[in-house]
Structure 1
């Protein structure tokens, strides 16, 4: 959880922004095109028009990544990692979800946000219809990006940070329950230092159900401290998933490592400034895992016993979660 981002999470963007930037990664796509627009999400008897960012790779995307920010934040806080995903060939969708809402339509469970999270699941559940909510946002974005014939990928990875790391598995379980055809498109999930809400059991219940599937679920976490509620979310992950490998803990990590170079100043003050070695490890591992989720392969370097992974263990950068 982070302090000082409350207003940013609930103020809608007032203009559509279109930018193209170069990403210095010779082994991957070299051009990332970002389009900012809105996505409609039902909220009780009304509809929210939320800020959303779409990141397009230069070529055909290998898959879609839903990258969800954390509590009291906004999608600009994960811009760095979104660009890194896109540089490796993913189409990234990064919406801003509310921190405060009188109708309970919030990212973190502050009372009972389960109806709202079902409406978030509805975005993906009806994504095959480009006239529906997610489809409309994507269609507008691809036109602005000059990619008007690009189809929405049918292989997905969900990735969420902090409270987003609780919301993402809850949404995945809602897809499994109510939209099985859409759930079949989900290839895996990455949780970035997930944080359990003070209220309810969204994280534990969803992981308990997903434990009965073969869906890959891996995490990159920080040591327990105030910003991640003393590691409560990581403990839920360990309690609910009995699998030989669940990801890594960055031994000197900060809760906001996934924000990387786009971490806002208030987040750094509240939770600590991410270290370059931790950002690099988080992005290389998690983006590589996502690629494996999509391809169905295993890049040995990114798992216990692999060269890169073992170099992180030897350097004391990571510990294995299992």
Structure 2
């Protein structure tokens, strides 16, 4: 084992770590971690930034770790010790404890808040138990775990190394303090799994008369003292000094170099022949890093690399556009606006190299505006509201085309149509640089004379939370099968139905009371007279369609057009879902929004370029009655199916191994993004990744739960494309997927 030069026999340990200080506050309490168990809280003065879950070893109990727990507390760290059966690491109990830490968060006593930063720590078999606990926390995506500290860890069934490596792979530290191997401990069997870890520094081994009892300090006794002797003061001091400072570093995210290779405390330990490094360190690679600032197409790069055991001797920059540089702090001018992947590779005096890549976005300063608008239809009159934006200037002109030959150059006009129908409305906006953008969407209007007519369809309804839309319908005598239905859109709308008078939220005859916008009321033998309909926003809603119809003997009911679709790259498969209550649909006419058409029942169509297309299905029944429906299809360059925030994609299915890709655009300043699958049968998994399609090996988030109910929540997500892969772990069907930003 590599040793540093002898530096003298003086052992300098901070007095604050050694003095048997009176505890700020110790509270005995039962806690629910893998079942009810006795525990002691060590509560420091003031609210701490982090806490430690401290597990005793085989044939021991929590009182044997009182000394080190008190030392942590006196250095401002909250500690919880628990009585557990840690024999052999007790993997099953360790995983239950991890699940309870996530699903049933603890509440400390006496008004303390549980800190958001957790360090796991354990002695002997308890160290292996905490290793298993960390593995389960990582498996479930627990983001509050900051590191693992082990004392005299023992290994069983090769359980330690994979869990410890998984924690290191998240960027956290795993550090150990070993005693000399003896009949009192099996710490030597931990050497191999610790040295196999990818980190070069995994802790220290005490070599001067160290014993199993050193981790317990002056709280040891009984079996430990009888067979393993008394703890050695200098080893207790080393152990507690290193453990406390490692824990403080893990919680703060900083590094006290004295307790790492090359630092004063490590050099003192080795020079005095009191200990050695668990893993020999030959040299440390450099750390590559840089900052940059942009000014239009020009970028100034500033090297921020470091090398803890030497110096950096060369720099190699790849600017992502074919140009390169060997300067330490270069400037570079790009030829065109865009996003570039810039890589810096640094090499140190030990000829070790490290690279780092960052995305750099530059612009020539001229950005086109983004056209957008919303609308509210009131019979044939439609109020349009401009929602366009221009990041680098202002919009100077608006050009509306209402789809009926009329136009306007107002920002937010009101237009009245002459006839019922669906019209393709487009808005073109132009900024002060002469750059423009266009947005189009279908608008459906219907004149209501004296109320709703039979077979009425009113589309694109919207209202805020608590707002109401009111309608009524005159139903003749001998009518049957009266149906009121809302569907489509986003948000949550409710319908209230009442005969003879307007309904309220407390007085009504029918109310389905379902989540979302899909609600239907069917009345087999309705009374003749006026039926009133109220659509109320349980939460804000938009894009909702209202249908109202009844049947009269001998009258032909028109068909109802509907379809669904599924993406495969730029190819879209359309599935007819139209129906005719009193006959059959005789003909189908599809318009795909790019000039192409089809009369097939269930056609497929391949689009030549990315974009948004309005697809219309027109149908006619066997008695000549007609209906049509229009839906929007979005084609992306990467073949992913777009997600719209707040809208649910239903009816997904797949066989084992099948993968479906979706993408959600997240704008800057978003506070939270949530991706969720739910419902149906079988077992589907979601994989979420920023900026690129995930795979089964490469992803940012994966809940990894049985069944079809999985949720990924991302706080303060980066702006851009977030990709979601739904994969069939086994066959699944009737699955729903949603993506929502706040």
Same fold? TM cut 0.5: yes
1:108 aligns to what?
87
Asked whether 1:76 is paired with 2:63, we answer yes
1:4 aligns to what?
none
Give 1:155 deviation, angstroms: 0.7
Return the alpha-carbon distance in structure 2 between the equivalents of residues 157 and 295 of structure 1. 11
2:684 aligns to what?
none
CA contact (8 A) 2:33 2:101 kept: no
2:235 alignment partner, one of 259, 274, 278? 278
1:229 aligns to what?
186
Give the aligned length: 263
Using the size of structure 2 for normalisation, the TM-score is: 0.34
2:267 aligns to what?
310
1:14 aligns to what?
none
Alignment of 1:74-223 (within 5 A): 74-98=61-85, 107-109=86-88, 113-128=90-105, 134-135=106-107, 138=108, 142-143=109-110, 148=111, 150-178=112-140, 180=141, 183-197=142-156, 200-223=157-180
Using the size of structure 1 for normalisation, the TM-score is: 0.76
1:52 alignment partner, one of 39, 42, 54? 39
CA contact (8 A) 1:30 1:58 kept: no
1:4-32 Cα distance to aligned partner (Å, 9 max, x none): xxxxxxxxxxxxxxxxxxxx839999752
1:244-296 Cα distance to aligned partner (Å, 9 max, x none): 11110000211221100000132122223210000000000111011011111
1:245 aligns to what?
201
2:16 alignment partner, one of 25, 39, 42? 25
Return the alpha-carbon distance in structure 1 between the equivalents of residues 174 and 104 of structure 2. 22
Return the alpha-carbon distance in structure 2 between the equivalents of residues 256 and 30 of structure 1. 22
1:21 aligns to what?
none
Return the alpha-carbon distance in structure 2 between the equivalents of residues 173 and 186 of structure 1. 10
Distance 1:153 1:211, change over 3 A: closer
Return the alpha-carbon distance in structure 2 between the equivalents of residues 234 and 287 of structure 1. 22
- CA RMSD of the aligned region, Å? 2.2
Return the alpha-carbon distance in structure 2 between the equivalents of residues 65 and 176 of structure 1. 17
Return the alpha-carbon distance in structure 1 between the equivalents of residues 17 and 69 of structure 2. 17
CA contact (8 A) 2:26 2:42 kept: yes
Distance 1:212 1:26, change over 3 A: closer
CA contact (8 A) 1:195 1:234 kept: no
2:252 aligns to what?
295
Return the alpha-carbon distance in structure 1 between the equivalents of residues 151 and 191 of structure 2. 10
1:20 aligns to what?
none
Superposed structure 1 runs of 4+ greater than 6 Å apart: 26-30
Return the alpha-carbon distance in structure 2 between the equivalents of residues 26 and 220 of structure 1. 16
CA contact (8 A) 1:34 1:56 kept: yes
Q: Name the SS for the 1:60 alignment partner.
A: coil
Asked whether 1:254 is paired with 2:254, we answer no
Distance 1:108 1:202, change over 3 A: farther
2:532 aligns to what?
none
Q: Which runs of 5+ in 2 are unaligned?
A: 1-14, 280-742
Q: Which runs of 5+ in 1 are unaligned?
A: 1-23, 43-47, 99-106, 129-133
Q: Name the SS for the 2:68 alignment partner.
A: helix
1:39 alignment partner, one of 17, 31, 41? 31
Report 1 or 2 for greater relative contact order, CA contacts < 8 Å, sequence distance ≥ 6. 1
Return the alpha-carbon distance in structure 2 between the equivalents of residues 162 and 226 of structure 1. 13
Greater percentage in helix: 1
Give 1:204 deviation, angstroms: 3.2
**More deviation in 82-91 or 28-37?**
28-37
1:67 aligns to what?
54
Return the alpha-carbon distance in structure 1 between the equivalents of residues 32 and 22 of structure 2. 31
Q: Name the SS for the 1:57 alignment partner.
A: coil
Distance 1:223 1:31, change over 3 A: closer
